Structure 1
Amino acid sequence: MSMKLIRASSGTYNVRAEEMARDRPQMKTVKCIVHFLDETKESFEVDKRAKAGALLDIVYDHLELIEKDYFGLQFADVAPAPDAMVRAGGKQGPTRRWLDPLKNLKKQIRLGPPYTLEFAVKFYVCDPCKLTDEYTRYHFFLQLKKDILEGKLVCPPTTAALLASYAVQSELGDYNPEEHTDGYLSEFRFIPNQTENFEREVSELHKQHKGQMPADAEYNYLDVVKRLDMYGVDVHLARVRDQSNMDIQLGVASAGLVVFQNSVKINTFSWAKIVKISFKRKQFFIQLRREIGTNNNDNIDNLIGFYMTSYRSCKNLWKSCVEHHTFFRLHKPNPPIKKKLLSLGSKFRYSGRTEFQTLEDGKRRARIERTFSRSPSKRYARRTVGGTTRDVIMDEKNVLDGYRNAPVNNGPVNNHVKQSRSMNSTINLTRNYDGYGRSPRSSFQDYRRKSNTQWSDNQSEPDEGGFVPPVPAKMQDYYLDENTSMSQQSFELPDYHEFVPNGNGFVDGQGLVVIRMRPDDQGRFGFNVKSVNCRGRDPARPHQGGADQGMPIIVSRVAPGSPADLCIPRLNEGDQVLQINRRDVSTHSHEQVVMFIRATRENHSGELELIVRPNVYVGDDPVEEPEFQYIPDTHHISTTTHGDVLAESLLLLQEGIESGAAVAQFEQLYRKKPGMTMNAARLPENIPKNRYRDISPYDQTRVVIKNGPDYINANFVNMEIPGSGIVNRYIAAQGPLPNTVVDYWEMIWEQQSTLVVMLTTKMERGRVKCHQYWPNLYETEDLGALQLTCLKEQETPSFAFREFLLVNMDTNEERHIVQMQYIAWPDHGVPDDSSDFLDFVIRVRQNRVGMVEPTVVHCSAGIGRTGVLITMETAMCLIEANQPVYPLDIVRQMRDQRAMLIQTASQYRFVCEAILRVYSEGIVKPLDDYQR
């Protein structure tokens, strides 16, 4: 008993330890150091028990990013070493991992605190033109520069030099021979192992970018870099799971899974082709859809497997696939899978916003006119030590000290220093820009002076020496709603099923667009408005009045290079003005509308805000055209031994049509190829020869008439069939007007064409679509030096066939001309069934056998149905040559030769479905000579 009492009464108390605990601060926050893409770093304090999403929000707010969902934070993680490395006695090294916003910081980052992270692009948008905010594009520009410098993004030397020249233009501005002397690029680093020859090549390219403002140069940079095979690819090391045991790289991108060997793309598995992705230990699997034409009773799955270097790397690849598929393919993330008792496998699902949600949110936000500084590149100085040349990084202090202490004449670098870009005595290392990304030195006013342009209302084109910046895309988005069946360690990739062709404006789906602009230094916005006669009024009546005469207010003209032309989004001819500075103009006259626009210059901000409905009217006849847009490059499946590329291309097309993605991509394709001119069509003597004001031929490919007036609204369109040596030659033309019939037949005679394909009737919906440019049966018509006689005419419910005798009265030379007219196209939309149209195309092809002269194809404008027929015949030829069929590439190739070919989304969908039909029903098959 006494022992128990002694034990109970004993104890110890560490006075020193308690006092130290008292003095020790109770840390409730943790320090996070974030390195940004402009080579700056910031320190942030967050609650140590907080989710990582809290840190991400702080970082986004710090940068004031709008399109923030493309970015993330990376941290170094000590991952287990691969088995082969361990056996070789290697040490485990740090790997980069993305911060999961749903998990605690301390459970993810093993190194620290303080935690060190890097801000980086996580999801590379398939086309940077989708990025509406210039500040976002600037961060993409910085990231891609870094990727190339670090060797992560491999590109050919010529492309690297072009990209570097755009980067130099963005930072230094126009090339100045007095300022940019030999060696002025020696302080910059663009690629690994950079040489002086490379710098000289960059300098020569820099001279060609005169007039480009920083935002323009960065835009061009992104437009070039997006075409690289490894652009936007998250690379993972792997090994083929077969006897070859070949080392490869698996890349996860917006389009799907890409396979590289030695940084060369050898295959692509698009998301549309993949059914499921899964992993087990170090093995990664993808399950593909059955190809068209396979036996439906075949139960063998098309499963492809790869060996990864470790379990961790395998799971990281799987997670990357899950995130990329969800971000780029889904309308919204599917709800997370609830963990069940004793369930196995990863339940990870992407939890952030998708690209679709980001784009929608961007359209709802008001445009922010921000001012931000572009940071200078990290400078290097070459020093030779012991015969070895090394690059020494120069920080801001070193750069300043070097500039201040440099002698006047001491080599190329110091000559560059002497000609500092600062106009004052101090040296500025950063360049400030306004909300349009223009520096004070290369502002809009300076550009006007360089191009000697007055921007008057009578001017049609800026000087050729000036630079007209590209217009970013106005996006068409698509709705992706998927019902996903998930398994444990697999991820099902379901289909799209609905497409919503909303415009790029309000959420109501009516395609309204908000456009903001400020006047130039002369107080001009650079556009005119008029009231369009849309209720059957006399066309000769002056276009005046607005609501008082029941006429909408339409933009009639936009001066090139003016604020209306340079604003983003751009104001276009044919746009209907609904509101001016939040004032509804539907109840005001034309004079009042003009007064509202002029009064804007006198308010405090001087900003004009318009709400328009895009492209409502074009000329006197509405032309249903998509906006001027850009398209991301299609990701083709490489020609390898892995399957039939023709069948694979049509499988992708079928998936794209069913999902709406194919139509969405078509909606983003440019209508007119940038850089092509249409000056001949705008000459006063040629304007009356155009049926529609906005549909003109390119100067570079237009048909020139040698005998008589040289102008006619027609272009040469040549479609090459790869692997066959065939080139189908066409002349795509508008339907003749009464004043162009003679020119039309003179063109046919000079080009020795013997087949004319007509894809319209003379009248549709009460409007003249094409003048009858031929005589009636057995009649003869004199056409200048030519004489035309109709010898034969035959008509069916769908077709009309005519034969003509065309005689040159000067030489008495005779030619027989065949005209084939398709008359079954409805007055509005497209045919409900493609049977008659396909029959017509087959008959056209039969008449073209052995023909080397161009076939003349026309409808009314020479772009819509004309493009449909050329696309259809080209696709048939590709199938016969056993070549893959990518309709979007066909349209792009056509539009490079004549603008706007295939006019509407419904026409594109119609021809795509017709292509699938001729293949699936065997109407057209690969010829024996091209069978592999």
Structure 2
Amino acid sequence: MIESVSKRAFSGSSGTYNVHALELAAARERKLKGLNVTVRFLDDTEHVFHVEKRAKGAVLLEHVYQHLELVEKDYFGLQFSENGCPHGNRSSEWMRWLDPSKSLKKQLGNCQYPLHFRVKFYVSDPSKLLEEYTRYQFYLQLRKDILEERLVLPASTSILLASYTVQSELGDYNPEEHGPDYLSHMQLIPGQTEEMERKICELHKLHKGQLPADAEFNFLDHAKRIEMYGVDLHRAKDNAGKEIQLGVTHLGLVVFQNNIRITVFSWSKIIKISFKRKQFFIQLRREPSESYDTLLGLNMETYRSSKTLWKSCVEHHTFFRLHSPRVKRRFPLSLGSKFTYSGRTEFQTMSEVRQRGILERKFVRSPSKQLIKQPTPAPPIEDKGKFLTAPARPPGPYANKVTSLGTKEPKKAWTEDSRISDDDGGFLERTLETPYSPGVAGRVMSYADDEPPSPTLNGGTDTNVPILVSRVAPNTPADKCTPRLSEGDQLHQINGQDVSHALHQDVVRLIQEARSKSSGKLFLTVKPTVLLQDSPEPEEQYDFSIPGEALRKSMQTLAEGLASGALLARYETLYRKHPDMPCDEAMKAQNLPKNRYRDISPYDSTRVVLLNAPGGNDYINANYVTMCEGGISNRYIATQGPLPNTVDDFWQMILEQDCDLIVMVTTLSERGRPKCHKYWPDLGEEMALHNVLVKTETEELDETGGVHFREFILVDVQTCDQRRIRHLQYTAWPDHGVPDSPAAFLQFVERVREARRTGASDAPLVVHCSAGIGRTGVLVLAETALCAIERGRPVRPLEMVRSMRRQRAMMIQNASQYRFVCESVHAAYTKIIAEEEEGT
């Protein structure tokens, strides 16, 4: 048919367009002009990026950041090898960082090896990382550093970090799902053994309730304390020719020898760093007692390694110490390297993230690699520089033994604790329960495996508290032995091994390992305590006939209790929730969404009842708390930080209770997690609610930067009545733990007391943190104690906690908060005494 068509049909008004040939030509042209660069990420995935040959490194970096949707991107970089050497070889001089200011073609050349995305600047504290996804990338990097043995760390620390990895990936320990070998296929530690897996399993049980983000934060929080954390190592030789390693960190230059830190030259002590050929020089600041400058010279392996170290110092100093990079100056005849750090600093990164807000994004976490196990000897237990070896089999039939009966497998050293919350930037301090009861020195006790766990142990060098027994369960060997093991007894030795300065987890592990020996016998040495019962000291013990004597004696008892650890031991014996006070209203279906935490509920008998709330629901997570001390009755409303759906209820409570002072002891978010919804409008703006109108009239920040002062105008919509509300917000409490010093907190408490004295009404003071129990309880106890000191009355902090918990459950949430507030009260008393002595 086509043959019959004449040539005339294709002549004249006709044409063709060769699409395929042009597509191939364009593809060839793009290939000639561009580069295909493979980047391997921290989860071991790879992605190919196409960039122009003439493009600079910053273009590829930006493609990578966009691919990951990174916000806090300046901590990361791309590293590559010119000769294909393994990336795990940390001492290789051939590993280079991609320079954003130079062209890719000049840097990569014909490099066929993938670039590695990794952390370049290790943050000093993970709480500085505001994005959960950024912390996850740091977590992946440190896991890789450990598995590739670039990060040297004690065996006990590696086991602890591995337990957080298991919690992040598998969630809470469940005996029905997690069999005896559930960790055998996870690659967690180099040289992983069954003994290591058993210890990891025991620690995994303690992390119940932690979300993946929580477990990863705890992983980073422990990793930052490792001596080799974030150290960029470079090989060198000193003047005597000894092999050393120079590490560049956020602190400065660290000198190592055989992986042991010798000395640190902080950035504040360094005047200048320079290099010339293979020599590297450090000029130190002159001390007041010196009449000369100190110049240290070190020999590097090659000129290139010397320059690489110098560039790393320039980048780390600029990133961590300066607010903005130094501007390049162009000198036509300048000598030496013109290299400067051109990226953003840590200060700029943190400022930008705070301004734009935290990005809540969802992402998929990558699982651990599968492991083919090779049996290796189990490591010794370590404790801050010394080794605690597991106790050997006793030499004699009766020497230093505790006999265990039965043939069943021993119980685990820890039991699960279902009381989980995440209040005020920290998890509950879990009680570690063990089936082995320490006894008085020289006593032999026996145990049956079917008996319940007996003592509760607290303390250890990791918490700066002696190892103490805080609870003895009834009808257990510890309860039945003669003399009876008592709360507050201090554990000193296990089978002759000194544990007075050991970590908590190592003490429990030693007891468990001794129990698992073939003899199954244990000998413990304890120091008995004088605190044999959980009861307040009767007031008759204080001599009130001498002014100030009762107060002085109570403060002496407080100081002695802090020093011995007995104060915290007694605190641990208190109930968290009163057993006879129900919280039924909080558990109703319509009220559950109004609770910030599932385990923190108000007592029905002391809860605040709303009278005219929107929707007719009278529930709010708040309790009346009244503290009577020294003839003064301080009234509080302790409540949780408002949620988006409870802002209306919060202001309705302020209106109905005639309150004029709100104390906020938290920030709006911590570690990337919301702690309190912003329940007030911006300065000069108004917030219209169901029954009230709120306007922010003033907002100031004190000279320390840790206290915000605000004044609100609260308008009753129905009556048009106006009331001035004062708002004090304390933001100097760190994201995790407690403040380092009580001084700033005591100043804030004094400001709260002054605001209460100058108030227009005697209405209760509204105080809240996130859950309304931890920092809230600390503030209530501190103000109550200061009132007692002011009137010369004795201070009984344990009785104050008991009084608070009879009105709102779990007030002062954990032992570290209790210790902090007791230290603060004692510091306030000491200051008053010193001022009185100066006045006389």
Q: 1:202 is aligned with what amino acid?
A: I
Contact 1:455 1:526 survives alignment (8 Å): no
The residue number in structure 1 matching 2:104 is 105
Matched, 1:321 2:319: no
Q: Secondary structure at the match of 1:359?
A: helix
1:543 Cα deviation (Å)? Answer: 5.0
1:742 Cα deviation (Å)? Answer: 4.0
Contact 2:797 2:822 survives alignment (8 Å): no
The residue number in structure 1 matching 2:133 is 135
1:292 Cα deviation (Å)? Answer: 2.7
Q: Distance in 1 between matches of 2:176 and 2:270?
A: 57
The residue number in structure 2 matching 1:743 is 794
The residue number in structure 2 matching 1:116 is 114
1:116 Cα deviation (Å)? Answer: 1.5
For 1:438-453, list aligned pairs within 5 A: 453=599
Gaps of 5+ in 2: 1-23, 86-90, 378-424, 426-588, 608-639, 697-705, 713-723, 747-761, 799-815, 835-840
Q: Secondary structure at the match of 2:282?
A: strand
For 1:367-406, list aligned pairs within 5 A: 367-382=358-373
Q: Distance in 2 between matches of 1:372 and 1:383?
A: 33
Q: 1:60 is aligned with what amino acid?
A: Y
Q: 2:117 is aligned with what amino acid?
A: F
The alpha-carbon distance between structure 1 residues 137 and 589, as it changes in their structure 2 partners (threshold 3 A), is: closer
| Sequence identity (%) | 43
Q: Secondary structure at the match of 2:74?
A: helix
Contact 2:358 2:672 survives alignment (8 Å): no
Q: Secondary structure at the match of 1:106?
A: helix
Q: Secondary structure at the match of 1:305?
A: strand
1:626 Cα deviation (Å)? Answer: 3.7
Structure 2 residue corresponding to 1:50, chosen from 44, 47, 55: 55
The residue number in structure 2 matching 1:65 is 70
Q: Secondary structure at the match of 2:115?
A: strand
1:621 Cα deviation (Å)? Answer: 9.3
Q: Secondary structure at the match of 1:215?
A: helix
Matched, 1:592 2:592: no
Q: Secondary structure at the match of 1:380?
A: coil
The residue number in structure 2 matching 1:263 is 259
The alpha-carbon distance between structure 1 residues 372 and 69, as it changes in their structure 2 partners (threshold 3 A), is: same
Contact 1:626 1:671 survives alignment (8 Å): no
Q: Distance in 2 between matches of 1:284 and 1:257?
A: 12
The alpha-carbon distance between structure 1 residues 555 and 380, as it changes in their structure 2 partners (threshold 3 A), is: same
The alpha-carbon distance between structure 1 residues 893 and 337, as it changes in their structure 2 partners (threshold 3 A), is: farther
The alpha-carbon distance between structure 1 residues 460 and 376, as it changes in their structure 2 partners (threshold 3 A), is: farther
Q: 1:272 is aligned with what amino acid?
A: S
The alpha-carbon distance between structure 1 residues 132 and 93, as it changes in their structure 2 partners (threshold 3 A), is: closer
Contact 2:663 2:765 survives alignment (8 Å): no
The residue number in structure 2 matching 1:853 is none
1:615 Cα deviation (Å)? Answer: 6.5
Q: 1:161 is aligned with what amino acid?
A: I
Q: Distance in 1 between matches of 2:692 and 2:593?
A: 33
Q: Distance in 1 between matches of 2:80 and 2:185?
A: 29
Partner deviation per Cα, 1:140-196 (whole Å, 9 max, x = no partner): 010011111111111111111110000110000001111111121111222222222
The residue number in structure 2 matching 1:229 is 227
The alpha-carbon distance between structure 1 residues 128 and 899, as it changes in their structure 2 partners (threshold 3 A), is: farther
Partner deviation per Cα, 1:52-84 (whole Å, 9 max, x = no partner): 11000000001110000000001012499xxxx
Q: Distance in 2 between matches of 1:270 and 1:156?
A: 25
Structure 1 residue corresponding to 2:357, chosen from 343, 366, 390: 366
1:251 Cα deviation (Å)? Answer: 0.5
Q: Distance in 1 between matches of 2:249 and 2:168?
A: 28
Contact 1:254 1:324 survives alignment (8 Å): yes
The alpha-carbon distance between structure 1 residues 192 and 153, as it changes in their structure 2 partners (threshold 3 A), is: same
Q: Distance in 1 between matches of 2:139 and 2:256?
A: 24
1:737 Cα deviation (Å)? Answer: 6.6
Contact 2:42 2:140 survives alignment (8 Å): yes
1:745 Cα deviation (Å)? Answer: 11
Q: 1:260 is aligned with what amino acid?
A: F
Q: Distance in 2 between matches of 1:256 and 1:632?
A: 26
The alpha-carbon distance between structure 1 residues 565 and 617, as it changes in their structure 2 partners (threshold 3 A), is: farther
1:450 Cα deviation (Å)? Answer: 14
1:33 Cα deviation (Å)? Answer: 0.5
Q: Distance in 2 between matches of 1:626 and 1:901?
A: 23
Matched, 1:528 2:650: yes
Q: Distance in 2 between matches of 1:185 and 1:43?
A: 34
The residue number in structure 1 matching 2:732 is 627
The residue number in structure 2 matching 1:309 is 301
For 1:851-890, list aligned pairs within 5 A: none
The alpha-carbon distance between structure 1 residues 193 and 145, as it changes in their structure 2 partners (threshold 3 A), is: same
Gaps of 5+ in 1: 1-19, 81-91, 389-435, 437-444, 462-514, 533-540, 546-550, 597-611, 634-664, 673-687, 704-710, 716-731, 748-890, 912-932
Matched, 1:344 2:344: no
Contact 1:238 1:249 survives alignment (8 Å): yes
The residue number in structure 1 matching 2:81 is 76
For 1:452-491, list aligned pairs within 5 A: 453=599, 455=601
The alpha-carbon distance between structure 1 residues 567 and 68, as it changes in their structure 2 partners (threshold 3 A), is: closer
1:120 Cα deviation (Å)? Answer: 0.3
CA RMSD of aligned residues (A): 5.4
Contact 1:544 1:590 survives alignment (8 Å): no
The alpha-carbon distance between structure 1 residues 448 and 145, as it changes in their structure 2 partners (threshold 3 A), is: farther
1:692 Cα deviation (Å)? Answer: 11
The alpha-carbon distance between structure 1 residues 303 and 630, as it changes in their structure 2 partners (threshold 3 A), is: farther
The residue number in structure 2 matching 1:399 is none
The residue number in structure 2 matching 1:603 is none
Q: Secondary structure at the match of 1:107?
A: helix
Contact 2:147 2:188 survives alignment (8 Å): yes
Matched, 1:571 2:679: no
Partner deviation per Cα, 1:346-366 (whole Å, 9 max, x = no partner): 110000000111011101113
Q: Distance in 2 between matches of 1:746 and 1:98?
A: 56
Q: 1:221 is aligned with what amino acid?
A: F
Aligned length: 500
Q: Secondary structure at the match of 1:197?
A: helix
Q: Secondary structure at the match of 1:272?
A: helix
The residue number in structure 2 matching 1:898 is 823
1:306 Cα deviation (Å)? Answer: 1.2
Q: Distance in 2 between matches of 1:71 and 1:585?
A: 40
The alpha-carbon distance between structure 1 residues 621 and 214, as it changes in their structure 2 partners (threshold 3 A), is: same
1:592 Cα deviation (Å)? Answer: 2.6
Q: Distance in 2 between matches of 1:126 and 1:76?
A: 27
Partner deviation per Cα, 1:205-227 (whole Å, 9 max, x = no partner): 00110110101101111111111
TM-score, length of structure 1 as denominator length? 0.46
Q: Secondary structure at the match of 1:335?
A: coil
1:264 Cα deviation (Å)? Answer: 1.5
Contact 1:895 1:901 survives alignment (8 Å): no
Q: 2:692 is aligned with what amino acid?
A: Q
Q: Distance in 2 between matches of 1:189 and 1:248?
A: 31
1:454 Cα deviation (Å)? Answer: 6.8
1:22 Cα deviation (Å)? Answer: 12
The alpha-carbon distance between structure 1 residues 458 and 255, as it changes in their structure 2 partners (threshold 3 A), is: farther
TM-score, length of structure 2 as denominator length? 0.51
The residue number in structure 2 matching 1:288 is 284
Contact 2:665 2:730 survives alignment (8 Å): no
1:622 Cα deviation (Å)? Answer: 7.9
Q: 1:229 is aligned with what amino acid?
A: E
The residue number in structure 2 matching 1:33 is 38
Structure 1 residue corresponding to 2:237, chosen from 236, 239, 251: 239
The residue number in structure 1 matching 2:615 is none
Partner deviation per Cα, 1:771-819 (whole Å, 9 max, x = no partner): xxxxxxxxxxxxxxxxxxxxxxxxxxxxxxxxxxxxxxxxxxxxxxxxx
Q: Secondary structure at the match of 2:181?
A: coil
Q: Secondary structure at the match of 2:82?
A: strand
Contact 1:79 1:94 survives alignment (8 Å): no
Q: Distance in 1 between matches of 2:99 and 2:185?
A: 38
Q: Distance in 2 between matches of 1:592 and 1:691?
A: 19
Q: 2:338 is aligned with what amino acid?
A: K
